[in-house]
Amino acid sequence: MFTRTIRGPEIWRGCGGKVGVFVSGMGTGETVIGARRFLRKKNLDIKAYNVEPTESAILNRREPVIYYIFPNWIYCIPLHVNGLHMIQGIRPGFITPILDVSILDEIVPVSLKINSISL
């Protein structure tokens, strides 16, 4: 898994080994799962959070799904079709076979209804 061997160590080194929380969106699941596995080996107390668009919530809804099996992937599509969202890099309404949500501490819903943030 690329992220476990590259991204996880890169995050760890970039933060000088001072990582307390890892937050990621999820496309295939490789980044959040791979980095989480690496970081957990470094520190069991590190928390991992996945951000999921409310417009395309699959993981938070826990709905029944239909499985489509292809040569290299299994796509899980919810029986209730979720809405599209415009957040680039986050999964477009399906679950890949490498996704292991059991190692995440929380799945955080985010909405596109927030148009801007003032700092």
Determine the structural domain holding residue 31 and report its residue range.
Answer: 2-110
CB 75 within 8 A of CB 97: no
Confidence of residue 39 (pLDDT cuts 50, 70, 90): very high
- Greater pLDDT, 118 or 62: 62
Is residue 33, in this structure, part of any structural domain at all? yes
Residue 5 has pLDDT above 80, yes or no: no
Question: How many structural domains does the chain have?
Answer: 1
Label each residue of 65-92 as H, E or C.
Answer: EEEEECCCCEEEEECCCCCCCCCCCCCC
Is residue 44, in this structure, part of any structural domain at all? yes
Q: What is the pLDDT of residues 47-77, one digit of tens each?
A: 988 888 777 777 766 555 555 566 666 555 5
CATH number, position 67: 3.40.50.1100
Predicted TM-score (pTM) of the model is 0.67
Phi and psi (nearest 5°) for 35?
Answer: -65, -40
pLDDT of residue 43: 92
Residue 17 has pLDDT above 50, yes or no: yes
Question: What span, in angstroms and rounded, lies between the C-alpha atoms of 49 and 24?
Answer: 7
pLDDT of residue 97: 72
CA distances from 64 to 11, 29, 60, 77 (A): 35, 19, 12, 9
